[in-house]
């Protein structure tokens, strides 16, 4: 299949950047990133600079890959990361527009690579259980309802890719933050410090310059792990509780 | 007190203000509609004018009314703040954006809100301002009342005989409907009132509300324009 | 050089306890002054950095990723073993120890493996306390499943994302230490070299990948947790960034690489579909709990399937060869990975393969769907003879158990595994070999430690399923925090190191020259093209089956490839900028040398054991022929560009009797 690729090229954070158009011949069994490999190999052959893009596991779990493909983070298929998107979902002759995540809190580093370290700082603000190694009681000492553990797992399945922020017209990181707050608040081990956690993580999220949630739901629709915005409601609840409850 | 200031300057705190003021205004709309439906009583305005007098003279209602104005302004101001901060947070735009299945209203609350605010000014200029701060309205006597009251009923009839104003009202109410379509459920989500069983009910309720309440208001100009003229 | 494994004296079961009671301690006030560098933040690195931070050491942690959460530990699907015996099925520390030794084909160190089995239960407790959402049963207690090579249920899991959840747990613990200031995190920093001062590892040269700047970092000791070298095969289930450089750079500074030829080929991966392919995707071993592996008995049927004239479901039950169940009735589809992989190769080489390339076998859930469907129908009081209903109910059960894996399969192949059997084929997955370490996880270079997949210690010649997560976390949470003290206790008088001494500046200059030679090379071929060719050579000559002739040829091919690489590689850009091609070039250069060492090691080991299968050494039945009389040793290699030197650590088995592994 012959494709026309319009790819965002930007030398560095200070560069204004713009689109470049490339012709690529791909096969339908390829993954989207393998198609990008083909493009890059052809650029290197011409001794040009290949397109910088982030990728690692290529099986949809590490959260590295991040491309907005034809206007949707991770491309047209729901519940799919860029690396899991296969070319059979495109047609011969298609024009594909590829852009980086866009949000002020995710500055572009080069081409399609953005800086997502703000997510790490949100987790550092409280996205953990304060337990040191070796302090743990027996794993079965606290039974946890199967459904609750399952719900926590659904929230914990977040891969930290940032598609929620990329999809959100407000550039909000609420789904990311909520997924972690939810995961830990649902588990009895994490519940203990859930108020403190919610308060500190939200404060950091605000400080990092993410926008405010207006419950549009674009994050949920584009999340490759299909994390529900019910988690955002839970974060709101935890947060309100943390401010008005307690001392 | 620092905790309170921190809360109301945090993203979720601000959203909570939007949610609570929004819910208050949702409640107000129902009361307002119930009162206004008295305009459909065919008694030459006796019921409605008496109601209007009560609404402008009862001290408790006055307090609530000023609270209501304040909440409208707060909702609008906070909405503007959110919009401008979110715009800044988003930074640059995508060259192509094909949205997943999200409602149009949810992405355009600021635009809808601005239109509604403009509509509220027109609406209040037509009735509230004229009633409270001018002598344009005629005075009428109502049986059983020892004072004369302003004839707001006639003012309504006059206003809604103007086809341009009727259209403006209908547009305003349609805008309101879209705003509520997202706003109703969104308010509950922001409050964290979310439950796998009840959230779908709230969602359905919100959509019914978003259609029925503006429709109820819309009956009035239509009634005056087509039936009463 | 004599290799001292420093195994404590005494009974096997008491060694670790006694060691802990007698080891030297470092007082809290001294810990604050002692600096530790941790390279790599996967399961082993993140858990080590977090725990050392908790203990009070000054830790600097490095990852080439943009965040510690991206390490490839995250991709482990199936689970983590622990001898909790929650299922009351006869599990014990000894049994986990024994299974691991046996599974590893008697090529690992007894004392290390026993310690691993001992701390396995602590890991589960620790992870639960961190909020890891392990699967639970209706009573709210932890659920288990079975994995290959064992006859008990001791694998804890979180859907098909156990590695992710455990890594996130370690990442969270690490994040907490970062926020407390105990750990300084260096994201997007790659270790380019290890620096020795007076024979001890005292720091690293790291490259800031965003700016290209070389940085000198000094510390009292250096801990490597930089993962395995599976990417030497180009196509593997490893992430694209996985590399051997941190370990290899240390080897070039004198560290020994142990058993490099022990690589694990995982039997259940999605088959290769074309030349452009960049990586292979694993289908969790847990699928073998319920899936049955088969190929058509007749080559004609296999051919028809390859040419898409027939489908798997078209082959009648009697015309199928469930070859694992046939050959290994005791373990059936749950034989260890090396055995399952080789069996797949045998049937495919014989012309029974079902993927278009000829390299693929079926993994079929039809009978599991029927079995579960009947049991569901029965428990719901429905008609167990209603075929449609039973299939529907059974499909639901399978979906609940493996839904995300089936979804992943469908996304990649475009085929529905519920109605048609999956096609799978073995692929490189894990490397048991790694830096030689003693009982303290210290390499032969003092102050240089290696954890997780990066070391060689626990899995022998073959790793059992769900044991990699166990080892990574055991090393990081429960072993290194103690054993590093034995080294650091003697360092309390050593002041903080100055990274501006001659040793550091020299190392930095060498790195600069090395990188400059890559970017200024006026070559024509891309790094990727060399990597692909390296992978093919490795797969053909040092893959699932190896021979003396092939290995000799392969080694020469790699040496030629290396010469061609340095003469003709083209790397765009400069070293003073964000340059992913340069990163890749430096890694591939190291992989090439490491690949050569793997050939050398495989050639030396004239036996078949675990993942190392030499065609010359087979039993009459075609099974692997281990030669305990001559090869019960760890091969620890000292690198030399022409003649690597072998050092042997004899393995002493005092508690298990060496037997021919039998899964029949």
Task: Write phi, then psi, for C191 (nearest 5 degrees).
Answer: -70, 125
Nearest Cα of chain A lies from the Cα of B5 at a distance, in angstroms, of 11
pLDDT tens column, B132-149: 888 888 899 888 888 889
Per-residue tokens: C149: 């090579």
Does residue C1 carry a pLDDT above 80? no
Per-residue tokens: C613: 């299968």
Helical axes B109-124 vs B163-191, angle rounded to 10°: 130
Exposed/middle/buried for residue C356 (C-beta within 10 Å: 0-12, 13-18, 19+): middle
pLDDT tens column, A80-125: 999 999 999 999 999 999 999 999 999 999 999 999 999 999 999 9
pLDDT of residue C463: 95
Task: Write phi, then psi, for A196 (nearest 5 degrees).
Answer: -60, -45
pLDDT of residue C606: 98
Collect all residues with Cβ–Cβ distance below 8 Å to C36 and sequence separation of at least 6: C52, C57, C58, C59, C60, C219, C220, C221, C222, C223, C484, C488
pLDDT band at C142 (very low <50, low <70, confident <90, very high): very high
* CATH class of the region A116-244: mainly alpha
Contacts of A104 in chain B (CB under 8 A): 88-91
pLDDT of residue A102: 96
How distant, in Å, are the alpha carbons of A180, A208, A228, A232 from that of A216?
A: 20, 21, 12, 11
Exposed/middle/buried for residue C568 (C-beta within 10 Å: 0-12, 13-18, 19+): middle
pLDDT tens column, C53-89: 999 999 999 999 999 999 999 999 889 999 999 999 9
What does C246-310 look like in DSSP terms, one character per residue? HHHHHHHTTPPEE-TT-EEEEEEEPPP--TT-----B--GGGGGT-EEEEESSHHHHHHHHTTSS
**For chain A, which residues make up each domain, given as ranges?**
2-109, 116-244
**Cross-strand pairs, C296:** C320
- Among chain C residues, the shortest Cα distance to A151 is held by C133
Contacts of A42 in chain C (CB under 8 A): none
Contacts of C130 in chain A (CB under 8 A): 128-129, 131, 189
Closest by CA to C50, choosing from C486, C456, C451, is C451
Contacts of C240 in chain A (CB under 8 A): 55-58
Architecture of domain C502-650: Up-down Bundle (1.20)
Collect all residues with Cβ–Cβ distance below 8 Å to A183 and sequence separation of at least 6: A152, A153, A155, A156, A158, A190, C131, C133
Nearest Cα of chain B lies from the Cα of A245 at a distance, in angstroms, of 11
pLDDT tens column, C518-556: 999 989 999 999 999 999 999 999 999 999 999 999 999
Contact status, residue C449 vs residue C261, Cβ threshold 8 Å: no
Any A CB within 8 A of B186 CB = yes
pLDDT of residue C56: 97
**For chain B, which residues make up each domain, given as ranges?**
12-88+106-227
pLDDT of residue A61: 96
Does residue A247 carry a pLDDT above 70? no
Catalytic positions of C, please? Answer: 337
How distant, in Å, are the alpha carbons of C329, C330, C459, C623, C624 from that of C662?
A: 11, 9, 18, 10, 10
Task: Write phi, then psi, for C577 (nearest 5 degrees).
Answer: -155, 175
Nearest Cα of chain B lies from the Cα of A236 at a distance, in angstroms, of 5
pLDDT of residue C662: 81
Any B CB within 8 A of A235 CB = yes
**Mean residue pLDDT across chain C:** 95
* CATH class of the region C267-428: alpha beta
pLDDT of residue C151: 87
pLDDT of residue B229: 67
Rounded CA gap, C6 and C2, in Å? 12
Q: How many CB pairs under 8 A join A and C?
A: 210
What does C605-647 look like in DSSP terms, one character per residue? --S-BTTB-BTTSB-TTS-B---HHHH-EEEEEEP-SS-PEEE
**For chain C, which residues make up each domain, given as ranges?**
267-428, 502-650
Substitution target in A217, A224, A226, A241 with the highest count of B β-carbons within 10 Å is A217
Nearest to A70 among B98, B186, B191 (CB): B98
Does residue C169 carry a pLDDT above 90? yes
Any A CB within 8 A of B94 CB = yes
- Among chain B residues, the shortest Cα distance to A7 is held by B95
Q: Which is the CATH superfamily of the domain at A2-109?
A: Beta-grasp domain (3.10.20.30)
Q: How many CB atoms lie within 10 A of CB A12?
A: 13
**Tokens 């060691």 — which residue?**
C19
**Tokens 């790699």 — which residue?**
C558
Chain C touches chain B, with at least 3 Cβ pairs below 8 Å, answer no
- Among chain C residues, the shortest Cα distance to A181 is held by C131
pLDDT tens column, C466-525: 999 999 999 999 999 999 999 999 999 999 989 999 999 999 999 999 999 999 998 999
Looking at the domain that runs over B12-88+106-227, which CATH code has it been given?
A: 1.20.1300.10
pLDDT of residue C78: 85
């Amino acid at each position: 299949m012959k494709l026309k690729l319009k790819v965002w090229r930007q030398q560095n954070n200070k560069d204004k950047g713009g689109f470049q158009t490339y012709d690529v011949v791909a096969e339908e069994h390829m993954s989207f990133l393998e198609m990008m490999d083909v493009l890059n190999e052809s650029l290197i052959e011409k001794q040009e600079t290949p397109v910088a893009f982030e990728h690692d596991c290529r099986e949809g779990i590490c959260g590295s890959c991040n491309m907005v493909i034809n206007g949707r983070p991770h491309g047209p298929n729901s519940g799919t990361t860029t690396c899991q998107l296969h070319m059979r979902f495109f047609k011969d002759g298609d024009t594909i527009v590829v852009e980086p995540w866009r949000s002020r809190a995710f500055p572009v580093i080069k081409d399609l690579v953005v800086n997502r370290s703000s997510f790490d700082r949100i987790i550092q603000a409280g996205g953990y259980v304060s337990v040191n190694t070796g302090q743990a009681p027996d794993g079965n000492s606290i039974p946890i309802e199967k459904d609750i553990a399952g719900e926590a797992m659904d929230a914990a399945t977040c891969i930290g890719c940032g598609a929620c922020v990329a999809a959100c017209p407000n550039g909000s990181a609420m789904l990311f933050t909520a997924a972690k707050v939810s995961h830990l608040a649902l588990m009895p081990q994490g519940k203990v410090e859930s108020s403190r956690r919610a308060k500190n993580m939200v404060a950091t999220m605000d400080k990092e310059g993410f926008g405010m949630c207006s419950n549009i739901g674009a994050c949920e629709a584009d999340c490759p792990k299909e994390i529900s915005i019910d988690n955002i409601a839970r974060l709101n609840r935890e947060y309100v509780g943390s401010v008005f409850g307690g001392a | 007190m620092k905790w309170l200031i921190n809360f109301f300057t945090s993203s979720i705190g601000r959203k909570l203000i939007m949610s609570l003021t929004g819910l208050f205004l949702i409640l107000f709309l129902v009361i307002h509609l119930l009162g206004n439906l008295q305009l459909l009583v065919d008694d030459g305005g006796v019921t409605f004018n008496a109601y209007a007098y009560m609404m402008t003279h009862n001290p408790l209602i006055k307090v609530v009314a000023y609270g209501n104005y304040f909440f409208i302004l707060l909702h609008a101001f906070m909405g503007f703040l959110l919009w401008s901060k979110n715009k800044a947070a988003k930074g640059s735009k995508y060259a192509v954006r094909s949205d997943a299945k999200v409602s149009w209203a949810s992405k355009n609350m600021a635009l809808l809100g601005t239109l509604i605010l403009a509509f509220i000014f027109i609406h209040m200029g037509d009735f509230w301002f004229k009633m409270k701060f001018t002598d344009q309205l005629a005075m009428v006597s109502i049986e059983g009342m020892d004072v004369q009251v302003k004839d707001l009923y006639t003012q309504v009839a006059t206003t809604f005989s103007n086809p341009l104003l009727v259209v403006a009202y209908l547009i305003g109410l349609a805008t309101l409907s879209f705003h509520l379509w997202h706003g109703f459920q969104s308010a509950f989500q922001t409050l964290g009132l979310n439950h796998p069983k009840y959230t779908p009910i709230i969602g359905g309720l919100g959509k019914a509300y978003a259609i029925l309440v503006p429709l109820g208001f819309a009956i009035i100009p239509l009634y005056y324009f087509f039936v009463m003229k | 050089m004599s290799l001292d494994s420093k195994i404590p004296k005494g009974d096997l079961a008491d060694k670790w306890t006694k060691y802990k009671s007698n080891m030297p301690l470092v007082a809290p006030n001294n810990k604050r002054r002692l600096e530790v560098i941790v390279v790599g933040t996967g399961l082993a690195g993140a858990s080590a950095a977090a725990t050392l931070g908790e203990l009070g050491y000054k830790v600097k942690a490095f990852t080439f990723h943009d965040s510690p959460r991206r390490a490839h530990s995250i991709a482990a699907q199936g689970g983590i073993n622990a001898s909790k015996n929650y299922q009351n099925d006869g599990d014990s520390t000894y049994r986990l120890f024994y299974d691991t030794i046996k599974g590893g084909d008697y090529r690992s160190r007894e004392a290390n493996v026993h310690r691993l089995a001992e701390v396995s239960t602590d890991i589960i407790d620790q992870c639960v306390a961190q909020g890891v959402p392990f699967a639970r049963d209706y009573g709210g207690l932890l659920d288990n499943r079975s994995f290959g090579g064992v006859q008990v249920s001791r694998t804890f899991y979180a859907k098909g994302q156990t590695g992710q959840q455990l890594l996130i747990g370690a990442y969270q613990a690490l994040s907490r230490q970062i926020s407390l200031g105990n750990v300084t995190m260096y994201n997007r920093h790659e270790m380019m070299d290890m620096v020795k001062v007076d024979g001890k590892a005292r720091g690293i040269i790291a490259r800031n990948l965003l700016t290209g700047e070389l940085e000198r970092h000094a510390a009292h000791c250096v801990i490597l947790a930089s993962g395995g070298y599976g990417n030497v095969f180009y196509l593997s289930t490893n992430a694209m960034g996985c590399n051997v450089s941190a370990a290899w750079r240390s080897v070039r500074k004198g560290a020994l690489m142990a058993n490099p030829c022990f690589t694990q080929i995982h039997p259940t991966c999605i088959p290769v579909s074309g030349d452009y392919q960049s990586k292979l995707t694993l289908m969790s071993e847990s699928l073998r709990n319920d899936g049955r592996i088969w190929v058509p008995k007749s080559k004609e049927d296999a051919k028809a399937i390859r040419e898409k004239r027939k489908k798997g479901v078209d082959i009648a039950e009697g015309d199928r060869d469930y070859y694992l169940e046939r050959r290994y009735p005791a373990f059936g589809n749950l034989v260890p990975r090396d055995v399952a992989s080789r069996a797949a190769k045998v049937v495919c080489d014989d012309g029974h393969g079902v993927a278009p390339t000829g390299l693929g076998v079926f993994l079929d859930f039809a009978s599991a769907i029927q079995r579960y469907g009947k049991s569901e129908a029965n428990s719901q009081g429905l008609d167990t003879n209603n075929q449609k209903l039973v299939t529907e109910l059974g499909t639901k059960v399978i979906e609940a158990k493996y839904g995300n894996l089936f979804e992943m399969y469908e996304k990649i192949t475009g085929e529905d595994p519920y109605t048609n059997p999956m096609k799978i084929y073995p692929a490189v997955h894990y490397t048991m070999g790694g830096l030689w370490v003693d009982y303290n996880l210290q390499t032969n270079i003092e102050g240089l430690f290696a954890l997780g997949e990066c070391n060689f210690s626990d899995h022998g010649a073959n790793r059992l399923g769900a044991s990699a997560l166990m080892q990574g976390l055991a090393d990081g949470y429960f072993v290194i925090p103690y054993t590093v003290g034995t080294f650091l206790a003697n360092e309390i008088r050593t002041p903080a190191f100055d990274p501006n001494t001659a040793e550091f500046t020299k190392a930095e200059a060498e790195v600069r020259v090395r990188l400059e030679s890559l970017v200024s090379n006026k070559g024509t071929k891309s790094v990727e093209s060399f990597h692909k060719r390296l992978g093919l050579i490795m797969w053909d000559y040092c893959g699932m089956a190896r021979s003396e002739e092939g290995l000799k040829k392969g080694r020469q091919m790699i040496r030629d490839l290396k010469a061609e690489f340095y003469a003709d590689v083209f790397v765009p850009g400069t070293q003073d900028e964000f340059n992913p091609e340069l990163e890749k070039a430096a890694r591939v250069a190291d992989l090439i040398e490491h690949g050569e060492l793997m050939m050398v090691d495989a050639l030396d080991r004239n036996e078949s054991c675990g993942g190392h299968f030499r065609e010359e050494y087979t039993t009459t039945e075609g099974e692997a022929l281990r030669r305990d009389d001559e090869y019960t040793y760890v091969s620890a290699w000292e690198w030399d560009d022409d003649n690597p030197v072998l050092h042997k650590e004899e393995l002493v088995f005092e508690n298990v009797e060496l037997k021919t592994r039998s899964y029949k």
